[in-house]
Structure 1
């Protein structure tokens, strides 16, 4: 049995959980929905089961519940990896620790240090620490526009597009480029996505990013500059809009394989 925690942000028109459930049904795989809001993880009755968390709310209850379930079950993605991706600081730290190329980044509580970082780079991108879908991200060019801290800041890299690579089981399986006229290229911010081939450099940095986080599957967001690709962030509950690769089918097959391996 595969237990599924639905993605909280699913809608009838954008249902990531439902797309994978359809593939599980086609494969005659047994599954059941798991509502983290209605179970006591200390008395869940679940042991040695596979739990797929398509997404969790950014609150302490769901994280703690999933973390307790992970003590006696195989959880994909692990709570630790989901939270690591949700925190831009932790993502940056793990990437830097493994030598994965990422823009120059600082996380600062001192306004003086934030101003120095901005003046050193001329333009920086401010990002909410736990933001998603590109919300709250803005370009900062003057110290007076920094706003209240603390500040997660990245050097600004001129670009007209970004790339998302979907990594599953350590392998890059699909990629898109997202184009817009603004700072953010996210689909939810009005960007337009289209599939692109995965070149060798893109594959290497995306797979290295997933390994640095220690995650089963993810979306790795990249920019390209004069030196090559650089990692903006790693999404632990990614959408796969515009991917040519059959991500729901591949993800369902991955879950089925992992569940079977548990029974072997």
Structure 2
């Protein structure tokens, strides 16, 4: 049976978990919800099952509980993949190691090194929280003295753009995409960006699928920026993505994937 850990940020009007559950019900596939907060890591309630973690709270307790469940179960997405995606540093390192495109990046405790990076990249760069989400805390700066946050500092070269793309990838296949536009530096829907479903050209699919493989994740949302000379560069990989504005049948495709993984795990 499929056990589901609901996304804690679900709302009645934006219920990622519920959309997939409805698809499972439509197929007559049994499932139960699993309260992650109630799990005793030393006396696991589930063994040999498929567990879908639609989302977890960003704290060490829930992450450790998910890791404990993985000892005896198949967890989608894996705790390791979720942890990689939660850290911009690790995600970028994985992407670059795989040879996938990503903006030049600096990670350091030193503002002097940050300034050297800024000077080497046109006199401006983008500051991002290492563990940020929903586009929060991201801003353009020209001098390291403008950074008021405590170290360490994660900064990237500024890539000129007026839009970005969120690509939904399942089992290393790009299955849906939206273009996000806003007058701001970040185009995230949570920051007021406007999303519109788009087709997925080959180079976009290759960039997104390559990023998913680099992270080693069952499904994800890959954020891409278009480059002025063609192609795309990878900004980040989201391990618990929503699918705002996508016309692709993501809940159906996710339900299909969970059913397939559950059956394969029982062979």
Q: TM-score, normalised by structure 1?
A: 0.98
Contact 2:39 2:45 in 1 (8 A): no
Unaligned runs of 5+ in 2: none
- 1:153 paired residue among 144, 148, 155: 155
Shift of 1:227: 4.2
Shift of 1:260: 1.1
- Matched position secondary structure for 1:175: strand
Alignment of 1:58-207 (within 5 A): 58-121=58-121, 122-147=123-148, 148-207=150-209
Where has structure 1 moved over 6 Å in runs of 4 or more?
none
After superposition, give the CA deviation of every residue in 1:225-262 in whole Å (9 maximum; x if it has no partner): 12420000000000100111000010011101111111
What is the match of residue 244 of structure 1? 247
Tell me the number of residue pairs that the alignment of Structure 1 and Structure 2 aligns: 264
- Matched position secondary structure for 2:112: helix
Unaligned runs of 5+ in 1: none
Instruction: Provide the C-alpha distance between the structure 2 equivalents of 1:70 and 1:149, rounded to a whole number of angstroms.
Output: 33
Instruction: Provide the C-alpha distance between the structure 2 equivalents of 1:159 and 1:149, rounded to a whole number of angstroms.
Output: 27
Instruction: Provide the C-alpha distance between the structure 1 equivalents of 2:11 and 2:2, rounded to a whole number of angstroms.
Output: 22
- Matched position secondary structure for 1:106: strand
Instruction: Provide the C-alpha distance between the structure 2 equivalents of 1:42 and 1:95, rounded to a whole number of angstroms.
Output: 35
After superposition, give the CA deviation of every residue in 1:78-101 in whole Å (9 maximum; x if it has no partner): 000001000000000100110110
Q: Determine whether 1:234 maps to 2:234.
A: no
What is the match of residue 260 of structure 2? 257
Instruction: Provide the C-alpha distance between the structure 2 equivalents of 1:104 and 1:137, rounded to a whole number of angstroms.
Output: 16
Kindly report the root-mean-square deviation, in angstroms, between the aligned alpha carbons of the 2 structures.
Answer: 0.9
